[in-house]
């Protein structure tokens, strides 16, 4: 009887926790506190800054900062109240990330794939959307149930550009459940694409450039795992989803231009 009552209490607690919804209206299970994840993210970000080489290329720093600041300026509370911090790592890795608490990391390798400020804005908007949609919180909360640790979570959340997405076997080795983490990861990536597209459009960046970005990524990726065995959607799927959002995001972009939002971020190298 005691175990029965305990189970009912646990189910009720999880249902209460699941009352949270994502920016697109998707129900979320959130049991990890923001404060806990922000503290962990700050520690991890500081570790990256102290161990990975930071870029000293002024042109690259100014370009990434210009795009990032323009996108961040379009966020709403509570994320507009955060003092966002940017680090640009001198590394050939084609990747970028954002962490709870407003930490953004960009590897210079991704600048070789993004042809202009619009394509980089698609990357920055996507990564920031992971934070505003509380994807890390959601995965960490699910991770508590599936035995996945915060370190493994950080690994799985990474990748996704040019074939960097983790395969089923790698996720399983990290302690996650195939039937839960992989579909969840793909859903979050698609959601970050949609939300990030709105962010970049509001800032005055052309949302159509996101398609060009993923075409570049697909060309560079080479052989990748099948979509159903990956943490990220296939490039073809992403492109279709992005195109389906143009009817909504192009008017936002046109309004931003009409309002004079045309960030002067240019590649000069």
The residues annotated as belonging to the active site are 127
In whole angstroms, what is the distance from residue 143 CA to residue 87 CA?
Answer: 27
CA nearest neighbour of 60 among 94, 101, 90: 90
In whole angstroms, what is the distance from residue 214 CA to residue 231 CA?
Answer: 16
DSSP annotation of 19 reads B
In whole angstroms, what is the distance from residue 165 CA to residue 170 CA?
Answer: 10
In whole angstroms, what is the distance from residue 266 CA to residue 121 CA?
Answer: 12
CA nearest neighbour of 49 among 79, 84, 82, 85: 85
**DSSP state letters, 60-80:** HHHHHHHHHHHHHTT--TTGG
Alpha helices in 83-177 (DSSP H): 117-132, 135-146, 150-157, 168-173
In whole angstroms, what is the distance from residue 122 CA to residue 217 CA?
Answer: 12
* Total number of residues shown for the chain: 269
Cα R_g (the chain), whole angstroms: 19
């Amino acid at each position: 009887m005691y175990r029965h009552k305990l189970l009912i209490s646990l189910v009720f607690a999880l249902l209460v926790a699941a009352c949270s919804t994502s920016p697109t209206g998707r129900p979320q299970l959130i049991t990890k506190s923001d404060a806990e994840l922000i503290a962990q993210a700050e520690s991890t970000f500081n570790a990256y800054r102290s161990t990975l080489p930071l870029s000293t290329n002024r042109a690259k720093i100014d370009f990434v900062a210009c795009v990032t600041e323009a996108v961040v300026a379009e966020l709403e509370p509570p994320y507009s109240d955060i003092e966002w911090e940017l680090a640009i790592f001198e590394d050939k890795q084609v990747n970028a990330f954002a962490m709870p608490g407003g930490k953004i990391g960009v590897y210079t390798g991704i600048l070789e794939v993004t042809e202009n400020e619009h394509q980089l804005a698609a990357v920055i908007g996507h990564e920031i959307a992971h934070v505003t949609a509380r994807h890390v919180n959601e995965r960490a909360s699910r991770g508590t149930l599936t035995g996945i640790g915060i370190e493994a979570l950080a690994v799985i959340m990474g990748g996704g550009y040019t074939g960097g997405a983790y395969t089923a076997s790698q996720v399983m080795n990290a302690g996650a459940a195939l039937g839960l983490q992989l579909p969840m990861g793909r859903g979050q990536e698609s959601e970050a694409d949609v939300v990030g597209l709105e962010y970049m459009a509001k800032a005055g960046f052309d949302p159509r450039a996101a398609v060009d970005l993923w075409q570049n990524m697909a060309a560079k990726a080479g052989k990748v795992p099948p979509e159903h065995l990956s943490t990220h959607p296939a490039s073809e799927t992403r492109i279709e989803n992005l195109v389906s959002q143009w009817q909504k995001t192009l008017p936002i972009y046109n309004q931003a231009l009409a309002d004079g939002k045309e960030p002067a971020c240019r590649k000069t190298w």
